[in-house]
Amino acid sequence: MKSKKYFYLFLAPAAVFILTFLIYPLFRTIYYSFTSWKNFSPKQSFAGLANYDRLFHDPVILVAFRNTFIMMAGVFLFQVGVSLLLAILVSKTKKMFKFLRTVYFIPILISATAIGLMFRLIYGYEYGLLNLIILWFGGEKQVWINEKTSIFLVTIPIMWQYVGFYFVIFLTGMSKIPGEISESAKLDGITPFQEAVYITIPMIRDVITSVVILVISGCFKVFDMVYVITGGGPMNSSELLSTYMYSAAFRNYNGGYASAIAIVMVAFGVLLSTVTRRILEPKETY
């Protein structure tokens, strides 16, 4: 009985924290999404499904959806693919193991705002690094951030920043694979490529599933880097669901509509994460 009391005692702070900063705000946001809440007034009027109906007729939200999934596709392919490849290669390198693990993890230590400012300077028209290089070779300045390229240019730093984070996760998963398996495979004449495909990847399938879910949820939380580089522009061409939600709340002061966007983001995040887990989790056989 005493052990159970201590269990609940130590669990209480975490439960209070989750209820206060996660569960309560979520249900409060759901409530606001059904209201007409303008200018952060203390009074809200019930609006039914008006905010959700507006989502189907708002051309900018369609752009935000498209951009979010374009960014998600690029981030998924690059972060998962490159971090997994690097982890496989580095796991076989004993001499440089610690050094490479530290080097690849460094971008995580830099704030997204700082990285955004750095890439904004790279893409700048007047004194941007790309245009300075072009001028040095005798070319003409280019407007790098425009309506056609903006979403792709803001995706590049997003892809780059978290490769090291997932690389370390993959590396940790690979370190738990028994060395005897690899040694037996080498004795059987298996190539490094075959070992990676038929042994390493299947044995870290749970880790891959977790990383994919982290990537998906992380894409819905991307905000500061896009906001710093383009602010969602030009002409909403790099708008994401997160940046458009911010604009609805703090530029247009429409808390009800912003709440509806937030709920849709949460719903899509949960849906994609659930589908991913169902697809990637190994099926139990009897």
Task: Summarize pLDDT for 183-241 with one digit per residue, the tens.
Answer: 887 777 888 888 888 888 888 989 999 999 999 999 999 999 999 999 888 899 999 99
Domain that holds residue 265: 49-279
In a domain, 255, yes or no: yes
Mean pLDDT, rounded, for 130-134: 92
In a domain, 43, yes or no: no
In a domain, 166, yes or no: yes
C-beta separation of 237 from 147 below 8 A: yes
Per the structure, the count of domains in the chain is 1
In a domain, 146, yes or no: yes
Q: What is the CATH number of the domain that holds 123?
A: 1.10.3720.10
In a domain, 257, yes or no: yes
DSSP assignment of 27-47 equals: HHHHHHHTEE-BTT-S--EE-
In a domain, 41, yes or no: no
Query: Where are the alpha helices (H) located in 34-124, listed in sequence order?
Result: 50-55, 59-75, 81-91, 97-109, 112-123
Please report which confidence band the pLDDT of residue 283 belongs to, taking 50, 70 and 90 as the band edges. low
Mean pLDDT, rounded, for 95-107: 79
What is the per-residue burial (b if ≥16 Cβ within 10 Å, else e) of 8-21?
A: eeeeeeeeeeeeee
Q: CA 241 to CA 75: how far, in whole Å?
A: 16
C-beta separation of 51 from 257 below 8 A: yes
In a domain, 147, yes or no: yes
Q: CA 170 to CA 158: how far, in whole Å?
A: 19
In a domain, 10, yes or no: no
Distances from the Cα of 164 to the Cα of 6, 160, 161, 257, angstroms: 38, 8, 7, 36
Please report which confidence band the pLDDT of residue 6 belongs to, taking 50, 70 and 90 as the band edges. confident
